[in-house]
């Protein structure tokens, strides 16, 4: 970590967010570098979700700045962030169970037919969307037979796969995943680990919010530790143990000063 770092893909400085008299973010900093998996951990109420919401446009911070590839950006809603290539897999996945896989992947970004069928009659190009869907799912090695299956008929892990495939397909810069294994069993969690690796292999950096320490230590390149609304440390899995991480998280231990910028 001593060699000069490249420009962060996503960076935040001094984020502050109040909810009434609760201070959810108290001058939080954040960096995500190209191609990495950055885990964000912290106790309940440490401000992880609030941080992630600020970075994905789901809420507007009271103070502080956000930079995307070095450029100052302001997100007013999730669509702003999405337009800039930041995709979020929400904890509850935000899929429509009655719609099929293809329709979920392209929800809000449907492809229209070319020519007059598309421009005048507004017809969707289902064939194109179906082909793309098959490719997105294959890219992440998600083996689901039929893309015209309603998402409601899939298992929890498969649904997660659809949500991740959607994000990976459209994210140009960042994929954010909020507690991707919280609702899954052991076997399905393994599948999600693979998915996250696949996303990184495609060159996209991933922000992973998780309570699952073994998962975090297995996957993350760096770990951002959030406490009382601030980043108190950034550690790497090889230099610190899980016990250290938990100790820093709860304030029982201070991190090495060099990394807590």
Q: Sign of the CA dihedral 2, 219, 139, 150?
A: negative
Q: Is 49 in the site for Mg ion (CB under 5 A)?
A: yes
**Which residue, among 52, 97, 81, has the nearest Cα to 224 in the 3D structure?**
52
- Interface map 5-44 toward ligand ADP (x if CB under 6 A): --------------x--x-x-----------------x-x
| C-alpha distances out from residue 150 to 98, 127, 162, Å | 5, 17, 11
* Partner from ligand ADP, Mg ion, other proteins, none contacting 179, C-beta within 5 to 8 A by type: none
Q: How far is the CB of 173 from ligand ADP (least distance, A)?
A: 22
Q: How far is the CB of 133 from ligand ADP (least distance, A)?
A: 32
Contact (Cβ atoms closer than 8 angstroms) between residue 173 and residue 69? yes
**Which residue, among 40, 52, 45, has the nearest Cα to 15 in the 3D structure?**
52
Q: Is 46 in the site for ligand ADP (CB under 6 A)?
A: yes
The one among 19, 114, 119, 121 contacting other proteins by CB under 8 A: 121
* Partner from ligand ADP, other proteins, Mg ion, none contacting 79, C-beta within 5 to 8 A by type: other proteins
- Residue numbers 54-113 binding other proteins by CB under 8 A: 78-79, 82, 88, 90, 92-99, 103, 107-110, 112
What is the separation of C-alpha 47 from the centre of its chain, rounded to a whole number of angstroms? 16
Q: In which order are the strands placed within the sheet that holds 22-32?
A: 22-32, 10-19, 63-68, 71-73
| Residue closer to other proteins, measured from CB, 142 or 216 | 142
| C-alpha distances out from residue 61 to 18, 55, 84, 207, Å | 8, 9, 18, 19
**Residues in contact with ligand ADP by the rule CB under 6 A:** 19, 22, 24, 42, 44-50
**Residues in contact with other proteins by the rule CB under 8 A:** 78-79, 82, 88, 90, 92-99, 103, 107-110, 112, 121-124, 142-145, 150, 152-153, 155, 157-158, 161, 191
């Amino acid at each position: 970590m001593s060699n000069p770092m490249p420009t962060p893909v996503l960076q935040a400085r001094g984020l502050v967010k109040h909810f009434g008299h609760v201070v959810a973010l108290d001058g939080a900093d954040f960096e995500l570098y190209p191609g990495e998996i950055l885990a964000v951990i912290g106790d309940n109420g440490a401000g992880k979700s609030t941080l992630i919401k600020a970075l994905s446009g789901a809420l507007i911070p009271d103070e502080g700045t956000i930079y995307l590839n070095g450029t100052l950006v302001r997100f007013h809603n999730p669509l702003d962030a999405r337009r800039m290539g930041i995709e979020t897999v929400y904890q509850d996945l935000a899929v429509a169970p009655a719609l099929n896989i293809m329709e979920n992947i392209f929800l809000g970004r449907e492809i229209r037919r070319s020519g007059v069928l598309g421009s005048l009659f507004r017809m969707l190009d289902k064939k194109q969307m179906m082909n793309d869907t098959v490719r997105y799912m294959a890219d992440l090695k998600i083996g689901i037979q039929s893309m015209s299956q309603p998402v409601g008929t899939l298992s929890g892990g498969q649904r997660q796969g659809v949500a991740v495939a959607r994000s990976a397909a459209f994210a140009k810069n960042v994929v954010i995943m909020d507690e991707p294994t919280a609702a899954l069993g052991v076997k399905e969690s393994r599948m999600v680990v693979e998915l996250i690796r696949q996303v990184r292999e495609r060159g996209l950096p991933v922000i992973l919010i998780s309570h699952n320490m073994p998962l975090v230590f297995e996957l993350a390149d760096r770990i951002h530790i959030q406490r009382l609304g601030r980043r108190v440390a950034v550690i790497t899995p090889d230099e610190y143990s899980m016990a250290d991480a938990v100790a820093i998280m709860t304030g029982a231990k201070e991190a090495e000063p060099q990394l807590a910028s």
